[in-house]
Amino acid sequence: MFVPAIKGQGTEEQQKKWLPLAYKFQIIGCYAQTELGHGSNVQGLETTATFDPMTDEFVIHSPTLTSSKWWPGGLGKASTHAVVYARLITEGKDYGIHGFIVQLRSLEDHSPLPGVTLGDIGGKFGSGAYNSMDNGVLRFDHVRIPRDQMLMRLSQVTREGKYVQSDVPKQLLYGTMVYVRQSIVADASKALSRAVCIAVRYSAIRKQFGSQDGGPETQVLNYRTQQSRLFPLLASAYAFRFVGDWLNWLYTDVTQKLEVKDYSTLQEAHACTAGLKAVTTSATADAIEECRKLCGGHGYLNSSGLPELFAVYVPACTYEGDNVVLLLQVARILMKTVSQLTSGKQPVGTMAYMGKVQHLMQSKCAVKTAEDWLNPAFIQEAFEARALRMAVNCAQNIGQASNQEEGFYERSPDLLEAAVAHIQLIIVTKFIEKVHQDIPGHGVKEQLQNLCNVYALYTLHKHLGDFLATGSLTPKQGALANEQLGKLYAQVRPNAVALVDAFNYTDHYLGSVLGRYDGNVYPALYEEAWKDPLNETVVPEGYHEYLRPLLKQQLKLSRL
Ligand SMILES: CCCCCCCCCC/C=C\CCCC(=O)SCCNC(=O)CCNC(=O)[C@H](O)C(C)(C)COP(=O)(O)OP(=O)(O)OC[C@H]1O[C@@H](n2cnc3c(N)ncnc32)[C@H](O)[C@@H]1OP(=O)(O)O
Ligand SMILES: Cc1cc2nc3c(=O)[nH]c(=O)nc-3n(C[C@H](O)[C@H](O)[C@H](O)COP(=O)(O)OP(=O)(O)OC[C@H]3O[C@@H](n4cnc5c(N)ncnc54)[C@H](O)[C@@H]3O)c2cc1C
């Protein structure tokens, strides 16, 4: 994040100076924004950067305990520099949060520089999964940096101390977070596909119950309940892959537009990266835990690879923006878009469907049979109607409040659900568009079509309350969707293992005895057990010191 921050907020001259040093590992940088007292609320950060015209320097200072930088990855022990986000103060006025390049450690002996206190913030969730990352704490005691270490693409401070705002939107200050959020969506697909690969392969070799006449037991992958829990996660892994590819295109397109000072799609990029990051990471964190449960007791072993995957993955719901905070950002943009509908301003991009407000507010879903749900047009319209009606309902309720802000906070739980509905529409839309493309490989398109329908109908089934409450569907149509879902599971079943093999993960990368490509699980589980340090001795340590005296004492007592 150190590099994207300098690329996005540094001048050409600053990029020329600092990026080669970072690329060559002559310096190691981190992104020091979050503080002990503030993370979500960037404008609430307390670290100060006060300009001193006498020396043409900024004085970086941590005025309170809560202003201590806290969490930045790589800060605790590795980094020599940081992009520090601080309140810029010049001529006695506070101009809010800006980025500054600050050296933290000596390039001679790595010791902290004068006025810099830093260290690691301690152990984190899980058995040490994320403890390979030195998330750090950092405090400044009036540390001086040259004025030219303020990142000056978005705004500048002159030699005399005058603050000058460039003609670029101030939101570009948040650009690094947008970049990482879009990469996190692709990362969600990778993490989810790893968990699903393990759970599908294991479910194919695991047999429990089923036979009454002494014949072979049943593969658990054949149980309808296992399929109804597992196949939507398999479909989600593909869905997040395709929407992540599209989001990367959107991000690249926005970045190219910024180069020519076209800021027209900045809001779309913010809404899509924030919303897709929130929805895909929440779903993936829940799915990894579900995959553990789908593997029964063996899923709880570290050798299954699932506990570690879960412990490393779950902070994704928090870092780069708490998911609720990000979804509320999407909700704000939805409300703004709804309010502009009456002005005749046509929504664009992923909000374009809201321009069909007249139709979507009164449309009746035409589905009459379960098979009708295989028609992408019916799915698309149902998801559009649900999302739009939820947004309009929120806007109407907010409109009844004494003021917009009050109304927004009062209705924020409903707004959250409206934002999720909007983002799920984007995911479904991009999956439908993907399977409409030419897709090479015999039968591949049909399999992806099945997964697209599984993702859409499972999501519809899970959020059926939204569809019924908004009148987007009738209960009968909801039941037909569930009926079709069951038929789709049967079609996915013969190809389930092939669909996870298609992720092409090596056994090493998967790190799971349950997800081995060869399916030879039981010998691998048994062999792995003996690597447990507890098995280095046959009689456990502590027997003579604790167990033996206890057993002897109980034996004596029993003979009295
Ligand atoms: C490097 C590649 C890696 C790839 C691999 C993936 C794996 C990654 C592993 C990474 C591991 C750890 C890294 C984690 C790093 C971090 O966590 S860094 C810190 C992250 N912190 C946050 O995300 C903070 C979240 N908070 C905010 O972003 C802002 O405080 C918030 C947007 C919530 C509020 O902003 P404010 O300015 O206070 O107020 P608003 O009124 O809401 O916004 C003002 C207007 O600005 C618009 N806006 C906001 N954000 C953006 C944006 N990002 N882009 C564009 N526009 C934005 C907003 O819509 C308002 O617009 P309006 O005035 O209404 O038109
Ligand atoms: C593993 C990890 C790595 C990290 N790496 C970095 C890094 O490299 N650099 C960096 O700068 N930071 C980093 N962070 C910090 C991270 O970005 C913040 O923790 C994150 O942005 C959440 O902010 P917070 O901790 O202030 O949460 P809070 O906002 O305090 O969240 C607490 C609760 O308050 C709720 N909440 C907050 N505001 C609102 C609101 N307006 N409306 C409704 N509910 C609200 C949230 O939804 C949540 O439920 C990292 C964090 C982790 C866990």
The pLDDT value recorded for residue 128 is: 62
DSSP code of residue 540: P
Give the ligand at the shortest distance from the Cα of 415: 2
Is the complex ipTM higher than 0.95? yes
The pLDDT value recorded for residue 559 is: 84
At 156, is the secondary structure helix, strand, or coil?
strand
Q: Is the CB of 319 under 6 A from ligand 2?
A: yes
* Each residue's pLDDT tens digit, 414-426: 999 999 999 999 9
Take residue 48 and report the two structure tokens written for it: 């100060």
Pairing of strands 57-61, 116-120: unpaired
Residue of minimum CA distance from atom 8 in ligand 1: 184
The pLDDT value recorded for residue 132 is: 87
Q: Is the CB of 71 under 6 A from ligand 2?
A: yes
Q: Which atom of ligand 1 is nearest to the CA of 336?
A: 64
| 38 C-alpha to ligand 2 centroid (Å) | 8
Residue 513 backbone dihedrals phi, psi, to 5 degrees: -70, -20
Give the ligand at the shortest distance from the Cα of 324: 2
The pLDDT value recorded for residue 182 is: 96
Query: Is 73 within any annotated ligand binding site?
Result: yes
| 320 C-alpha to ligand 1 centroid (Å) | 7
Give the ligand at the shortest distance from the Cα of 175: 1
Q: Which atom of ligand 1 is nearest to the CA of 274?
A: 53
Which is catalytic among the residues 35, 46, 320, 384? 320
Residues 79 and 27: their CA atoms lie apart, in Å, by: 8
Active-site annotation holds for 13: no
| 421 C-alpha to ligand 1 centroid (Å) | 21
Domain with CATH 1.20.140.10 in the chain: 175-345+367-498
The pLDDT value recorded for residue 296 is: 98
The pLDDT value recorded for residue 450 is: 98
Pocket perturbation via mutation, ligand 2, pick of 85, 135, 325 by most ligand atoms within 8 A of CB: 325
Pocket perturbation via mutation, ligand 1, pick of 23, 45, 171 by most ligand atoms within 8 A of CB: 171
Q: Which atom of ligand 1 is nearest to the CA of 175?
A: 53
Q: Which atom of ligand 2 is nearest to the CA of 32?
A: 11
Residues 415 and 274: their CA atoms lie apart, in Å, by: 15
| 460 C-alpha to ligand 2 centroid (Å) | 30
Residues 281 and 184: their CA atoms lie apart, in Å, by: 8
Pocket perturbation via mutation, ligand 2, pick of 46, 71, 124, 310 by most ligand atoms within 8 A of CB: 71
| 321 C-alpha to ligand 1 centroid (Å) | 6
| 67 C-alpha to ligand 2 centroid (Å) | 15
The pLDDT value recorded for residue 100 is: 98
Domain with CATH 2.40.110.10 in the chain: 2-168
Give the ligand at the shortest distance from the Cα of 181: 1
pTM, two decimal places:
0.96
Take residue 306 and report the two structure tokens written for it: 């699932």
Residues 454 and 236: their CA atoms lie apart, in Å, by: 9
Give the ligand at the shortest distance from the Cα of 312: 2
Residues near 460 by Cβ (< 8 Å), separated by ≥ 6? 379, 382, 383, 467, 473, 478, 481
Protein fold of 2-168: Butyryl-CoA Dehydrogenase, subunit A; domain 2 (2.40.110)
Pocket of ligand 1 (CB under 6 A): 1, 31, 33-34, 39-43, 73, 171, 174, 177-178, 180, 183-184, 187, 266, 270, 319-321, 325, 329, 332
The pLDDT value recorded for residue 359 is: 92
Classify residue 252 as exposed, middle or buried by CB count within 10 Å of its CB (0-12, 13-18, 19+).
exposed
Sign (positive or negative) of CA dihedral 168, 170, 176, 181: negative
Residue of minimum CA distance from atom 58 in ligand 1: 329
Pick the closest to residue 180 from 100, 265, 247 (CA basis): 247
Q: Is the CB of 315 under 6 A from ligand 2?
A: yes
Given a cut of 70, the residues of the chain with pLDDT beneath it are 127-129
Q: Which atom of ligand 1 is nearest to the CA of 326?
A: 33
| 360 C-alpha to ligand 2 centroid (Å) | 36
- Say if CB 443 and CB 354 are below 8 A apart: no
The pLDDT value recorded for residue 344 is: 82
**Which CATH architecture is the domain 175-345+367-498 placed in?**
Up-down Bundle (1.20)
* Each residue's pLDDT tens digit, 118-148: 999 999 987 666 888 999 999 999 999 999 9
Pocket perturbation via mutation, ligand 1, pick of 38, 41, 42 by most ligand atoms within 8 A of CB: 42
| 137 C-alpha to ligand 2 centroid (Å) | 15
Q: Which atom of ligand 2 is nearest to the CA of 324?
A: 47
Take residue 280 and report the two structure tokens written for it: 């895909």
The pLDDT value recorded for residue 557 is: 84
Taking CA atoms, 76 is separated from 136, 401, 459, in Å, by 4, 47, 41
| Amino acid residing at 325 | V
Residue of minimum CA distance from atom 33 in ligand 2: 322
